[in-house]
């Protein structure tokens, strides 16, 4: 079944004739859909079209069964060539080509301006350039974990070769010798605003060779040559790039080699002239009518896959345990590894690391399951996209990194993962001033503020080792994107008033629930992460002075637990307390909820007001008025 | 004066002897400061130390005048080797070395865990890897604009070569033939968690050669060889990289070639053994005492430079003008170019572009001032850092890009620019659903939500072409980091009730002021960006029905205009209306302000609730209930 077509050494002449005719029709379709929509990218679509047809025709993809788990994966990295992709897929039977022509770039249609996973045959939603090869790496490694032998093809533009993330992906592919990965580059030598040689000169071939890849140069409009090159690339058992020399706007004389047609549709008169030259009938009126009558068919989503793992029995750390949350994460992860990796019938689990395995505590998992542990080095952009793509293929993927890398440096990669409905667990350690001596560049104080923007990502900030353990098991079994954020230091185990671990034993983590940690009536501290333990200390000191307050643990900052909030508000004075930018974290979220809930309370927010210093966490907290004594004093003053 | 030391063809033996002795002392100092602080990175500090001493000794830098505008710029990209940097600088007289040893990584001291610009001799705060060469490119191009002929040296780690951003910077340096740029790589072949060859194999030399650089290999512990190589690199008039073969932990037998000493300080017994081996006296007690007695000396900031430009006379677009905000930006920028570029005594202005000059409308400026226009290609990470560094050197720098690239893709680069007190104007176009057909990957709906996190960045979202014009002139003359966000489409000119342009004529933009656009008493819409014009339409439709509401333009979303908010609140019903993620933009900010201000009002927020579709903006707004009719209906319903 696999590679059923590229197996033949020679390509059949009849196939070539068929494809040539199809390419011709596709060129017309590309012009029709872009002119009808009044926007889009015809130039690169026309230079890529022979590549698209060769791949979708000869690779192991079935128009009637486009989600077959054994299929080859074809990723289009330069997603703006969607007219080329849609015309190739539609004309090969993946869907009704007329619909693609008529509904291109129409609100509610699946045929969006950049390729989307909704479209049968499209494996990865792209648009922002330079990420496709990383996604290809993720899918290529998924094959092994899924015990499949599919091939992954990544088609890229030449302009996007300028993106540094591609060099990261090349090195990863070489390191892991991803012989099931083949790159095709549409080398039309033009980018949006001019020739590559003027905008940003680059030795593309030398760049691939320097990273240890094979490079085959070929005429990208010659089906026979393309077939031969792709076949060679598949069977050479090395990561190989095919540099396909092409012509932007190929097929229409006045469009050829003109960079202005990279990003603009033909105007009606140009369109007529082009169709005449191609000898293709102008039936735009038919499509115009279809477009006018279009009815959106509801929301487009990608169905989650079923997760089947054993999450085991949570560990309970006793009240005097010296455990940091990252340590608890590492232990839970190792436990998941032991219980599941290599077990028949379970969903594979993978871990992606960026040269920080001991710091982020994934090294134990790495020892238990070396085949499921991927060391990407200091290449966070590649790692983030690769992890997302891997997670989309039926592999529960943990991407563990420092907060500044896993949140700040890779923010846009995760935005695109989110758009791709991935199943990624971003575990970030070393968040907050709690990082201490490494200083401001390394203190991630926006893990909530940044990821609040990503609709699909759920955020969890566990309070101690026990809760971390349960959260990690929870996110492993729940489909979807999660950010789990934690500090660097040892965190006291949170106990109840009797001294028993609050999140130990049979405590079950429920996403969205705010935990009451201490009771009182004068005020309520809503705390997050490492500040929960400090809030308990505040509670103790105030209790000594005869003042009893409530303490809540706000573990799921994107969800409001209205019952708990209501209880907090009843005290008349709510304080938020976070190791995070005070303007964008739980303070902001709780303030909004209090307003929207109509609660009339005194409100104060405590958090990080400026970039942190370099020193012991407690000293840094004190500098920003976040130490226990400052909070105690503040509450006493406010209650006077 | 320039390059006064590297001018000599042969290096003096006496200098070599002096430096050897100094390197020996520095090794001891590195161990002292890291052991005393109990953390830090001794390994790479000891492999880099000969490079640091050679540069700081022979380059045109003066310990007594470290801010001299003619000085060579030395950037340390692998900022974690701060113990090496501080020991070299301190021992060469840039500051008191004893203070560096005693106060390393102590809260409130300038000697932070990663190098900071506060420290005399440090040009750029680094920490997150892979950005130093981009900063070097920015400083190298600033030389020409400032009519200086200083040289820029960038010292980097070998592990960080894995970061793709470095390949982007290499290509930029080659394109602009930055002959005043020299790279030194500390090639100790180990990274945090193991040998490079295991963690992420890379052909560093071939990578540089493939991008057209010269490469010189040298023994990084041999002063004579280093001097010769650096001299050759300076005078070859090409961007050159010196690959300095070194030994991690060099100088202490049990530390050499051990990756564990990349990131951990010696324990007391190891420290004693190391100092004995080095034959250096253990005087840690003295420093311990100093450390205990340390008093922080207040906040550390970098002084802004004086801006001297002619901002000209604002353009006024009349009420029927068909102008998009990006067009108005482009015209104002071109005007600034005409009025200032090449004029004696004015602060230079530069524009950095990423292959989008026509779309972001910087092309006119590019024609007027081609020498001040830098085309970086599709290399946003490099462009963002480069622009920040350029702006730090006395050049008012505009980095113009689509929102998804200028905000999302380069978020961390701007975070580090912000930490560096840069003077960067990030102008992002194509924000919001207003982008339309390019779809969700290209719709930046988090420009406020993301940049709210960056303490130093001010955010401005102009409402129309007139306000955009004035905002651009304003940010040009104000020192500091600004994000100016705008949509893609033509925006109606906002007028007063008499039909005169509200932001035309003598209107002056005041940062932080909320503009009242329409008056009424039943409700107040607080709108932002393209929604201001829509809010005016809502006002008109409601007026026809006898309902008068207020409309405010919330142009500076990080600042609350309490007077205006108070006036809005008096209506009893406040709605926010934004082309932005509804959870993280002005809705969230106004809600918090209403709570904190103690206003008791009905509150609704309207904004983007899910990733957008691909289609005409108006269709996309309708899908999310953000079209004028939906808002009219909502207000009527709420007022019933």
Strands B73-76 and B152-157: parallel
What value of ipTM does the predicted structure carry?
A: 0.97
What is the tens place of the pLDDT at every residue in B388-417? 999 999 999 999 999 999 999 999 999 999
Q: What percent of chain A has pLDDT over 90?
A: 96
Do A378 and B404 lie within an 8 Å CB cutoff? Answer: no
Do B614 and A452 lie within an 8 Å CB cutoff? Answer: no
Strands B550-553 and B573-581: unpaired
Section B363-370 average pLDDT: 98
Distance to chain A for B91, nearest Cα, Å: 22
Beta bridge partners of A186: A157, A244
Give the model's confidence band at A1: pLDDT under 50 very low, under 70 low, under 90 confident, else very high: very low
Angle at B392 between CA B386 and CA B393, to 5 degrees: 100
Pair A480, A304: CB distance under 8 Å: yes
Q: Six-digit token pair at A51?
A: 């590549």
Burial class (CB in 10 A: 0-12, 13-18, 19+), A568: buried
Do A378 and B439 lie within an 8 Å CB cutoff? Answer: no
Pair B344, B314: CB distance under 8 Å: no
| A609 contact residues in B (CB cutoff 8 A) | 455
End-to-end CA distance of chain B: 78
Chain centre to alpha carbon of residue B440: 25
Quick one: closest CA in B to A196, which residue? B377
Q: What b/e readout covers B495-516, taking b as 16+ CB neighbours within 10 angstroms?
A: beeeeebbbbeeeebebebbbb
What is the tens place of the pLDDT at every residue in B13-58? 999 999 999 999 999 999 999 999 999 999 999 999 999 999 999 9
What pLDDT shows up at residue B2? Answer: 35
- Residues A392 and A131: their CA atoms lie apart, in Å, by 15
Distance to chain A for B21, nearest Cα, Å: 30
Sign of the C-alpha dihedral, residues B413, B414, B418, B420?
Answer: positive
- How many other C-beta atoms can be found within 10 angstroms of the C-beta atom of residue B241? 28
Torsion on CA atoms A558, A564, A570, A572, rounded to nearest 10: -40
Instruction: Please report which residue ranges of B61-152 form alpha helices under DSSP H.
Output: 82-91, 97-103, 132-145
What is the tens place of the pLDDT at every residue in A72-92? 999 999 999 999 999 999 999
Section B576-591 average pLDDT: 98
Distance to chain A for B196, nearest Cα, Å: 8
List all residues 6 or more positions away from B595 whose beta carbon is below 8 Å from its beta carbon: A591, A592, A594, A595, A603
Of the candidates B127, B206, B445, the beta carbon closest to that of A442 is on B127
What pLDDT shows up at residue B299? Answer: 82
| B591 contact residues in A (CB cutoff 8 A) | 591-592, 595-596
Do B594 and A595 lie within an 8 Å CB cutoff? Answer: yes
Nearest to A378 by CA among B200, B45, B244: B200
Quick one: closest CA in A to B196, which residue? A377
Do A127 and B441 lie within an 8 Å CB cutoff? Answer: yes
Give the model's confidence band at A2: pLDDT under 50 very low, under 70 low, under 90 confident, else very high: very low
What pLDDT shows up at residue A639? Answer: 95
Give the model's confidence band at B10: pLDDT under 50 very low, under 70 low, under 90 confident, else very high: confident
- Laid out side by side, the sheet with A602-608 consists of A515-518, A550-553, A524-527, A573-581, A602-608
Pair B221, B251: CB distance under 8 Å: no
Nearest to A248 by CA among A264, A233, A229, A270: A264
Quick one: closest CA in B to A613, which residue? B107
What is the tens place of the pLDDT at every residue in A473-490? 999 999 999 999 999 999
| A638 contact residues in B (CB cutoff 8 A) | none
Q: Six-digit token pair at A605?
A: 């927010």
- Residues B26 and B34: their CA atoms lie apart, in Å, by 12
Give the model's confidence band at A4: pLDDT under 50 very low, under 70 low, under 90 confident, else very high: low
- Residues B412 and A106: their CA atoms lie apart, in Å, by 34
Do A210 and B206 lie within an 8 Å CB cutoff? Answer: yes
Quick one: closest CA in A to B590, which residue? A592
**Can you list the domains of chain B with their CATH numbers?**
13-293 (3.40.50.970), 325-485 (3.40.50.970), 514-639 (3.40.50.920)
Of the candidates B111, B378, B419, the beta carbon closest to that of A159 is on B378
What is the tens place of the pLDDT at every residue in A328-378? 999 999 999 999 999 999 999 999 999 999 999 999 999 999 999 999 999
Nearest to B449 by CA among B623, B587, B553: B587
Give the model's confidence band at B81: pLDDT under 50 very low, under 70 low, under 90 confident, else very high: very high
Nearest to A626 by CA among A614, A640, A609: A609
- Residues B415 and B556: their CA atoms lie apart, in Å, by 19
- Residues B185 and B127: their CA atoms lie apart, in Å, by 16
Do A107 and B446 lie within an 8 Å CB cutoff? Answer: no
Selected for mutation to probe chain B from A80, A115, A178, A210 (highest B CB count within 10 Å) is A210
- Residues B604 and B591: their CA atoms lie apart, in Å, by 9
Do A114 and B453 lie within an 8 Å CB cutoff? Answer: no
Quick one: closest CA in A to B199, which residue? A377
**Rg, Å, chain A Cα set:** 28
Section B1-21 average pLDDT: 82
- Residues B151 and B59: their CA atoms lie apart, in Å, by 9
Phi and psi at B509, nearest 5°, equal: -75, 130
Do A620 and B107 lie within an 8 Å CB cutoff? Answer: yes
What is the tens place of the pLDDT at every residue in B534-559? 999 999 999 999 999 999 999 999 99
Beta bridge partners of B575: B525, B604
Pair B126, B413: CB distance under 8 Å: no
Of the candidates A200, A408, A592, the beta carbon closest to that of B379 is on A200
What pLDDT shows up at residue B4? Answer: 63
Nearest-10 crossing angle of helices B42-58, B223-235: 60
Whole-number average pLDDT of chain B: 97
- Residues B448 and A417: their CA atoms lie apart, in Å, by 21
> Taking 70 as the threshold, does the pLDDT of residue A523 lie above it?
yes
| Upper half-sphere CA count for residue B316 (Cβ side, 13 Å) | 12
Do A203 and B193 lie within an 8 Å CB cutoff? Answer: no
Of the candidates B37, B128, B192, the beta carbon closest to that of A441 is on B128
Q: Six-digit token pair at B171?
A: 């290509």
| Upper half-sphere CA count for residue B563 (Cβ side, 13 Å) | 5
- Residues A535 and A557: their CA atoms lie apart, in Å, by 17
**Concatenated DSSP letters of B223-269:** HHHHHHHHHHHHHTSS-EEEEEE--TTTTSTTTTT-GGGGS-PPPHH
Selected for mutation to probe chain B from A76, A613, A624 (highest B CB count within 10 Å) is A613
Burial class (CB in 10 A: 0-12, 13-18, 19+), A85: buried
Give the model's confidence band at B464: pLDDT under 50 very low, under 70 low, under 90 confident, else very high: very high
| B130 contact residues in A (CB cutoff 8 A) | 378
- Residues A558 and A484: their CA atoms lie apart, in Å, by 12
Instruction: Please report which residue ranges of A299-406 form alpha helices under DSSP H.
Output: 325-340, 363-368, 380-392, 403
- Residues A146 and A393: their CA atoms lie apart, in Å, by 9
For residue B78, give Cα distances in angstroms to A337, B113, B167: 34, 11, 16
Do A175 and B412 lie within an 8 Å CB cutoff? Answer: no
């Amino acid at each position: 079944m696999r590679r059923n077509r590229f197996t033949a050494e020679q390509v059949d002449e009849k196939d070539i004739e068929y494809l040539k005719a199809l390419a011709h029709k596709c060129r017309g379709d590309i012009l029709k859909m872009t002119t009808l929509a009044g926007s889009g990218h015809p130039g690169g679509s026309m230079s890529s079209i022979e590549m698209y047809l060769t791949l979708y025709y000869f690779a192991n993809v079935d128009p009637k069964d486009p989600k077959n788990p054994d299929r080859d994966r074809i990723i289009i990295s330069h997603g703006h060539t969607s007219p080329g992709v849609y015309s190739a897929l539609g004309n090969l039977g993946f869907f009704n080509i007329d619909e693609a022509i008529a509904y291109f770039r129409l609100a509610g249609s699946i045929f969006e301006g950049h390729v989307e996973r909704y479209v049968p045959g499209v494996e990865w939603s792209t648009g922002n350039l330079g990420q496709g090869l990383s996604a290809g790496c993720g899918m290529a490694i998924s094959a092994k974990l899924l015990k499949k032998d599919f091939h992954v093809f990544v088609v890229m533009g030449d302009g996007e070769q300028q993106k540094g993330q591609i060099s990261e992906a090349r090195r990863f592919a070489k390191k892991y010798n991803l012989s099931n990965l083949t790159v095709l580059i549409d080398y039309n030598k033009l980018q949006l605003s001019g020739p590559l040689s003027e905008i940003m000169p680059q030795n593309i071939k030398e760049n691939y060779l320097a990273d240890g890849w094979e490079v085959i140069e070929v005429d990208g409009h010659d089906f026979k040559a393309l077939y031969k090159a792709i076949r060679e690339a598949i069977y050479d058992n090395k990561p190989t790039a095919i540099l396909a020399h092409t012509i932007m706007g190929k097929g229409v004389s006045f469009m050829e080699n003109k960079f202005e047609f990279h990003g603009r549709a033909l105007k009606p008169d140009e369109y007529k002239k082009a169709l005449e030259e191609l000898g293709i009938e102008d039936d735009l009126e038919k499509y115009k009518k279809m477009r006018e009558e279009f009815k959106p068919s509801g929301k487009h989503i990608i169905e989650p896959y079923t997760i089947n793992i054993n999450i085991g029995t949570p560990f309970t750390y006793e009240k005097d345990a010296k455990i940091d949350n990252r340590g608890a994460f590492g232990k839970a992860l190792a436990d998941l590894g032991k219980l599941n990796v290599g077990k028949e019938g379970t969903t594979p689990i993978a871990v992606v690391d960026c040269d920080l395995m001991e710091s982020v505590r994934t090294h134990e998992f790495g020892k238990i399951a070396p085949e499921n542990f991927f060391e990407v080095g200091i290449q966070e952009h590649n790692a983030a996209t690769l992890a997302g793509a891997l997670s989309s293929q039926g592999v529960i993927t943990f991407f563990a990194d420092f907060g500044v890398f896993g949140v700040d440096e890779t923010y846009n990669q995760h935005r695109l993962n989110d758009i791709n409905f991935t199943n990624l667990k971003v575990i970030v350690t070393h968040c907050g001033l709690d990082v201490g001596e490494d200083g401001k560049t390394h203190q991630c104080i926006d893990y909530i503020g940044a990821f609040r923007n990503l609709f699909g990502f759920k955020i969890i900030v566990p309070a101690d080792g026990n809760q971390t353990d349960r959260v990690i098991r929870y996110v492993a079994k729940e489909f979807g994107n999660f950010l789990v954020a934690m500090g660097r230091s040892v965190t006291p185990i949170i106990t109840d008033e009797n001294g028993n671990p609050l999140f130990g034993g049979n405590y079950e983590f429920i996403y969205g629930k705010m935990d009451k940690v201490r009771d009182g009536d004068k005020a309520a501290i809503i705390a997050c992460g490492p500040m929960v333990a400090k809030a308990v200390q505040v509670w103790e000191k105030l209790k000594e002075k005869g003042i009893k307050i409530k303490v809540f643990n706000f573990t799921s900052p994107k969800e409001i637990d209205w019952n708990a909030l209501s209880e907090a508000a009843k005290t008349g004075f709510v304080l938020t307390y976070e190791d995070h930018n005070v303007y964008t974290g739980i303070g902001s979220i709780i303030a909004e909820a209090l307003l929207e809930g109509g609660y009339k309370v005194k409100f104060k927010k405590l958090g990080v007001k400026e970039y942190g210093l370099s020193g012991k966490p407690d000293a840094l907290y004190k500098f920003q008025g976040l130490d226990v004594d400052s909070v105690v004093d503040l509450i006493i003053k406010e209650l006077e």
